């Protein structure tokens, strides 16, 4: 495994922020199992988890005007590093009007043992949650969350609560990985929760 200190990395027109390698899941499809990076970037395995000062320095080394959005997304679940995430989002809001997004597995409330969604208000513009399946059993089999059976329900609750504080909340599944029947159920579930549903392309 190749490690480095890739705290920020460009993806398309966004600047992605890699805060942590910690994650409560062990998804069978996780890119980390076979790769040390994505999009042929430097390794996203971190030598150590960056402090807020390190994240700030990494962001300031970039021309922020070049990017259309800032995204907390890396080789781990961003809400595992909640304090640094919130400080960084606040810093970004002081520097730019560009939108800030979190890509998450939606288990941040279980990770942090509290409802973290009110903390996102005014700091985060979008949350993208990997729903994976409408079926808790399929979800558990594929994502292998350390919190077990309560995980799927907690993720749905996180999405519903996040929609109260964050303007854009989207739940996603990956095309070709679940049945059309399951996709229909996912869409209905998202409608009920008051969030958007998107089927992402398989990469």
State the residues that interact with ligand SF4 by CB under 6 A: 23, 25-27, 30, 32, 76-77, 105, 143
Choose between 102 and 143: whose C-beta lies nearer to ligand SF4: 143
H or E element, residue 56: helix 52-60
**Closer by beta carbon to ligand SF4, 56 or else 77:** 77
Q: Which residue, 56 or 162, has its beta carbon nearer to ligand SF4?
A: 162
As a whole number of angstroms, the longest Cα–Cα distance in the chain is 47
Cα–Cα nearest to 58, from 84, 28, 22: 84
Please give the DSSP secondary-structure letter assigned to residue 158. H
Measured from the CB atom, the residue of 143 and 156 that comes closer to ligand SF4 is: 143
Number of helices (H) and strands (E) in the chain: give both, helices first: 6, 9
- Cα 31-167-30 angle, rounded to 5 deg: 5
> What is the closest distance, in whole angstroms, from the C-beta atom of residue 145 to ligand SF4 in the complex?
8
Residue 110 beta carbon to ligand SF4: minimum distance, rounded to whole angstroms: 13
- The set of residues, in sequence order, having a beta carbon less than 8 Å from that of 102 and lying 6+ positions away, is 71, 72, 73, 78, 79, 85, 120, 124, 126, 127, 128
Min separation Cβ 144 and ligand SF4, Å: 8
Shorter beta-carbon distance to ligand SF4: residue 22 or 187: 22
Burial degree of 25 (CB within 10 A; 0-12, 13-18, 19+): buried
């Amino acid at each position: 495994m190749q490690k480095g200190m890739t705290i920020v990395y460009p993806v398309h027109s966004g600047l992605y922020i890699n805060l942590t390698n910690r994650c409560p899941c062990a998804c069978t499809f996780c890119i980390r199992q076979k790769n040390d990076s994505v999009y042929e970037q430097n390794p996203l395995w971190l030598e150590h988890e960056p402090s807020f000062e390190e994240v700030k320095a990494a962001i300031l080394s970039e021309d922020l005007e070049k990017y259309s959005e800032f995204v907390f997304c890396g080789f781990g679940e961003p809400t595992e590093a909640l304090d640094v995430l919130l400080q960084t989002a606040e810093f970004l809001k002081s520097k730019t009007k560009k939108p800030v997004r979190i890509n998450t597995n939606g288990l941040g409330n279980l990770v942090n043992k509290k409802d973290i969604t009110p903390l996102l208000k005014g700091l985060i513009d979008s949350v993208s949650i990997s729903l994976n399946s409408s079926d808790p059993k399929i979800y558990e089999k594929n994502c292998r969350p350390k919190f077990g059976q309560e995980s799927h329900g907690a993720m749905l609750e996180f999405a519903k609560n996040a929609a109260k504080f964050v303007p854009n909340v989207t739940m996603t599944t990956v095309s070709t990985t679940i049945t059309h029947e399951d996709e229909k159920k996912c869409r209905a579930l998202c409608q009920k929760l008051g969030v958007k549903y998107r089927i992402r392309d398989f990469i």
